[in-house]
Amino acid sequence: MKKKPRIKEHYLYTHVGNTIIAHARFAGNWVHGTAKCHSEDTFDEDFGKALAAARCNRKIASRRYARAVKKYAEAVENYHDAYKQLHAKSEYLTTAYELLKDSKERERSVLNWSIAGECAHDCS
């Protein structure tokens, strides 16, 4: 069973003025989500962290989805290439089989001809 990707739960936070930035790593790169408190609102650090983390996680999910779309397209292309190769090999197999049948028929005809007493070289 394939492991289901999890939502990131661990972030590093940076707090600058009325802005909180959540940082997380995805596929070897840092991804950031930002939450900024409006000047007329009351600053709430927990809410800011939750919002920044949610935005960071949305970016991660978006990148994961874009990567999945790309990998799916590659797989479809590989499938079509493999199908073309399979079709070509099938045609080659059919041709080889027909040549084998023809060669066996030709061999039988030569043997039948020899048995009938009509030798290809002078045996009199």
Nearest-CA neighbor of 34 among 17, 21, 46, 51?
21
Q: Please identify which residue in the block is written with the tokens 């499938």.
A: 79
Average pLDDT, the chain: 89
pTM value > 0.75: no
Say if 2 falls within a structural domain.
Answer: no
- How many domains are there within the chain? 1
Say if 37 falls within a structural domain.
Answer: yes
Say if 81 falls within a structural domain.
Answer: yes
Q: Please identify which residue in the block is written with the tokens 């983390």.
A: 53
- pLDDT tens by residue, 7-62: 667 899 999 999 999 999 988 999 999 999 988 888 999 999 999 999 999 999 99
**Domain with 30 in it:** 12-112
Q: Kindly report the CATH number assigned to the domain that includes residue 28.
A: 3.30.160
Say if 5 falls within a structural domain.
Answer: no
Dist. CA 91–CA 98, nearest whole Å: 11
Say if 121 falls within a structural domain.
Answer: no
